[in-house]
Amino acid sequence: MSTILILHGWGSQAKNWQKVKEGLEKVGYKVFVPDLPGFGENTPLERAWITEDYIDWIKNFAVNNSLERFFLVGHSFGGGLAAVFSAQFPEQVEKLILVDAAIIRVENLKRELLTQIAKILKLFSFMPFYKSARKFFYKFIASDYPGLEGIMRQTYLNVVKKDLSGCLPAISVPTLLIWGAKDKITPLKDAYLIKDKIPGAKLEIIPNIEHAPYLKVPEILAEKILNFIRL
């Protein structure tokens, strides 16, 4: 029986992929959708992770579940992980499917400015207004990481700061990109950049869909995945 491993995005969890999972399983595939560490029902992180920590975890998950070779699907943050894993371990990946993948990450002036503001704000931690000012800053101004604190906030920053596009030319497995035409989080222009960097990659665009086709059109997403892995 052929196996599919799905890696969810940041802030998501395995249960959000249930309809896609069911669509793939009903035609005979064995599907794994694990909660990545720090999400869903998986163990909370005890320290801030970087991309390489997640790659090691995926490798161990495959070993522990006797997954020698499988189709790999990754969405958003999980798509970035899937791309890196496929570049490093092509012998384990039959085909790669990237769904609105977060791979192209450009450090910009806004993030640098926010970092400096946060450092300045911390100097006033002894003042009575500090907690309310900090809460306002992260909720309304530094919305790149809303609601995140401590280990998960640092993990998010570790992951988001790292552009993963350098791994793309090393991907040698057949690759399909599936993208929402109206995605504002990982815009369609990213898909074209990624496609150009992965040898032989194909791109399918889902009209009128934003960043979460697995929630909005799970049947269509499952069908596109199946059509590709059956080729």
pLDDT in tens, 94-106: 999 999 999 998 6
pLDDT of residue 40: 94
Enumerate the domain spans of the chain: 3-105+164-229, 109-155
pLDDT of residue 17: 98
Q: Is 75 left (phi over 0), alpha (psi -120 to 50) or beta?
A: beta
Mean pLDDT value of segment 28-54: 96
Mean pLDDT value across the chain: 89
Phi/psi of residue 202, each to 5°?
Answer: -115, 155
Map residue 94 onto helix, strand or coil: strand
Burial 2-30 (b: 16+ CB within 10 A, else e): ebbbbbbbbebbbebbeebbebbeeeebe
Of 51-65, 92-106, 169-183, the least confident? 92-106
pLDDT-derived band at 160 (thresholds 50, 70, 90) equals confident
Percentage of residues of the chain with pLDDT beyond 70? 83
pLDDT of residue 231: 87
Angle (CA) 190 88 32, round 5°: 80
Task: Say which residues have a Cβ less than 8 Å from residue 110's Cβ, sequence separation at least 6.
Answer: none
Angle (CA) 19 70 162, round 5°: 85
Which amino acid does the sequence have at 98? Answer: L
- Out of 99-113, 119-133, 158-172, 187-201, give the one with best mean pLDDT: 187-201
The answer, yes or no, to whether residue 164 has pLDDT greater than 90, is yes
Instruction: Give the CATH architecture of domain 3-105+164-229.
Output: 3-Layer(aba) Sandwich (3.40)
pLDDT of residue 136: 56
